[in-house]
């Protein structure tokens, strides 16, 4: 039987009118450009002291978010980490709401109550970004359990970094999902560094996620996470499996972050030349070249890029003009009655 990886690789690169097609490819490109431009803008705004707190960018990792979101149906649920801007944007959340949250303005996605690490947009299926490593893998299992119990068709997708594979919740969730045969997809974005330390230095196996799959009876899947077509096809196979009632998948996507772990990190621990080598495999560069090679015109591509830049520019101006959140929201939504009362 062909594995998901085999299927994905067999189909790759077979032309514009293949199983993915032009329309989906333009969507995948656009999503990647939105993430690239918005993340780059977040970095620039940080340098201007307009993005406060911390932020963890996905520059260089755009293909994973675009490929998975591109394969989702509207009802599917995303569970993200603190490096969650990309996955939030990929579900169609507006750049203004994301930048507004990073800039701690009243127009932010959560009006400044969550911040960069907790982007949430339930109406888009973004069921939270979780800043405690590993916490959201079991939570995604629970959402998948609900789908299974209710006979709903949605799948829960849980994104996390390579560092997560060494925390207990990762292993608890994988076993739990496998035993209960839950419609959940675990997506490891292996960007080679857990934070500052190379993941290989602190992990017993070369592939931190995929080499653990067999312990939970799952297929070993390692893919090129910088090629949105490969990611998209792998995602489709995992969604098909989940929706057919055949249980969870664990996908390890090899990728690389172009910036440091967080805004405070200049990433000096990386060996000389490593970043340059990975930039040759920049997911946006790869995808742009493929579109051209498949006959998409420079104008079509340029129009997408210009349109996205305008969206990001407009969002930036809107956020700069937006007021800070009002103080009265400090005491709202602690409890379901809307308030914060813990006593009478």
Partner 1 sequence: MAELTYRDAVIRGIAQEMQRDPDVVFLGEDVAKAGGVFKATVGLYEQFGPLRVRDTPISEQAILGAAMGAAMTGLKPIAEIMFSDFFAVCFDYIANEFPKSRYMSNGQLKCPLVVRTGNGAGSRFGAQHSQSVENWCMMIPGLKVVAPSSPRDVIGLLAASVRDPDPVIFLEHKSLYPTKGEVPDGEIVDSLGTAKVLRSGKDATICALALMVPRALEAAEKLKTEHGIDCEVVDVRSLVPLDTQTILGSVAKTHRLFTVEENPRLCGWGAEIVSITADEAFYDLDGPPVRITTPHIPLPAADILEDAVLPTPDRIAETVRRSLNS
CB neighbourhood size of 228 (10 A): 31
Q: How far apart are CA 193 and CA 25, in angstroms?
A: 29
Q: Provide CB contacts within 8 A for 294, sequence distance 6+.
A: 15, 16, 22, 25
Does position 332 bind partner 1 by CB under 8 A?
yes
Minimum distance of partner 1 from residue 133's CB (angstroms): 10
For the CB of residue 334, give the shortest distance to partner 1 in the complex, in Å.
5
In whole angstroms, what is the distance from residue 162 CA to residue 211 CA? Answer: 12
Torsion of CA 188, 193, 196, 198, to 10 degrees: 130
Between 77 and 254, name the residue whose CB sits nearer to partner 1.
Answer: 77
Closest to partner 1 by CB, 269 or 335 = 335
Counted residue by residue, the chain has a size of 344
Q: Which residue, chain included where needed, has tokens 């690389």?
A: 256
The answer to whether the CB of 191 falls within 8 A of the CB of 281 is: no
Can you tell me which of 146, 243, 270, 281 binds partner 1, judged by CB under 8 A?
A: 146
Closer CB to partner 1, residue 130 or residue 232?
130
- Mark residue 47 as left, alpha or beta (left: phi above 0; alpha: psi -120 to 50; beta: remaining): alpha
Query: Which helix (DSSP H) or strand (DSSP E) does residue 241 occupy?
Result: helix 228-243
Give the CA distances from residue 286 to residues 87, 121, 138, 230, in Å, rounded to whole numbers and listed in that order: 20, 30, 34, 12
Residue with tokens 């499996």: 241
Q: Which of 120, 164, 234, 236 binds partner 1 (CB under 8 A)?
A: 120
Is 292 one of the binding residues for partner 1 (CB under 8 A)?
A: no
Number of residues that bind partner 1 (CB under 8 A): 54
Which of 61, 107, 116, 121 forms a contact with partner 1 (CB under 8 A)? 121
Q: Does 338 bind partner 1 (CB under 8 A)?
A: yes
Site for partner 1 in 62-81 (CB under 8 A): 77
Which H/E stretch holds residue 305? helix 298-321
Q: What is the rounded CA–CA span in Å between residue 22 and residue 38?
A: 24
One residue of 7, 30, 166, 172 binding partner 1 per CB under 8 A: 172
34 near partner 1, rule: CB under 8 A: no
336 near partner 1 (CB under 8 A): yes
Q: Is 9 in the site for partner 1 (CB under 8 A)?
A: no
114, 195, 262, 309: residue in contact with partner 1 (rule CB under 8 A)? 114
Cα–Cα distance, 95 to 93 (Å, whole number): 7
The binder of partner 1 chosen from 73, 205, 292, 334 (CB under 8 A): 334
25: which residues sit within 8 A by CB, 6+ positions away?
16, 229, 287, 290, 291, 294, 296
Which range in 124-132, 208-216, 238-246, 278-286 contacts partner 1 by CB under 8 A? 124-132
List the one residue from 92, 138, 198, 200 that touches partner 1 (CB under 8 A): 138
Find the binder of partner 1 among 30, 118, 281, 309 (CB under 8 A): 118
Q: Which residues within the stretch 176-215 sit at the binding site for partner 1 (CB under 8 A)?
A: 176, 179-180
Q: How far apart are CB 280 and partner 1 at their closest, in Å?
A: 39
Q: Which of 150, 272, 273, 280 binds partner 1 (CB under 8 A)?
A: 150
Site residues (vs partner 1, CB under 8 A) = 77, 109-111, 113-115, 118, 120-123, 127-128, 130, 132, 134-147, 149-150, 156, 168-169, 172-173, 175-176, 179-180, 329, 332-338, 340-344
């Amino acid at each position: 039987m062909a594995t998901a990886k085999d299927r994905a690789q067999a189909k790759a690169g077979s032309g514009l009118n293949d199983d993915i097609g032009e329309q989906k490819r333009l969507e995948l490109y656009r999503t990647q450009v939105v993430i690239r431009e918005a993340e780059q803008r977040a970095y620039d705004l940080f340098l201007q002291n307009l993005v406060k707190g911390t932020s963890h960018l996905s520059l260089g990792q755009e293909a994973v978010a675009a490929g998975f979101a591109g394969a989702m149906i509207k009802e599917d649920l995303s569970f993200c980490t603190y490096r969650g801007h990309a996955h939030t944007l990929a579900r169609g959340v507006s750049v203004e709401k994301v930048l507004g949250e990073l800039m701690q303005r009243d127009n932010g996605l959560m009006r400044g109550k969550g911040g960069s690490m907790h982007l949430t947009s339930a109406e888009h299926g973004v069921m939270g970004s979780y800043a405690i490593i590993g916490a959201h893998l079991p939570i995604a299992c629970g959402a998948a359990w609900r789908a299974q119990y209710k006979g709903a068709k949605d799948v829960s997708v849980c994104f996390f970094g390579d560092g997560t594979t060494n925390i207990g919740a990762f292993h608890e969730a994988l076993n739990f999902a496998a035993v209960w045969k839950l419609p959940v997809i675990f997506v490891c974005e292996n960007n080679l560094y857990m934070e500052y330390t190379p993941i290989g230095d602190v992990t017993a196996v070369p592939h931190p996620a995929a080499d653990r799959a067999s312990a939970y009876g799952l297929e070993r899947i390692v893919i090129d996470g910088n090629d949105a077509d490969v990611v998209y096809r792998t995602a489709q196979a995992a969604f098909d499996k989940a929706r057919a009632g055949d249980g969870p998948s664990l996908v390890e996507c090899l990728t690389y972050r172009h910036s440091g772990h967080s805004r405070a990190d200049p990433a000096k621990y990386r060996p000389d030349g490593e970043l340059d080598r990975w930039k040759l495999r920049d997911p946006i560069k790869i995808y742009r070249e493929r579109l051209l090679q498949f006959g998409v015109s420079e104008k079509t591509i340029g129009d997408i890029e210009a349109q996205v830049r305008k969206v990001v520019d407009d969002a930036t101006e809107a956020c700069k003009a937006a007021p800070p959140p009002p103080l009265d929201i400090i005491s709202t939504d602690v409890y379901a009655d809307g308030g914060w009362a813990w006593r009478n």
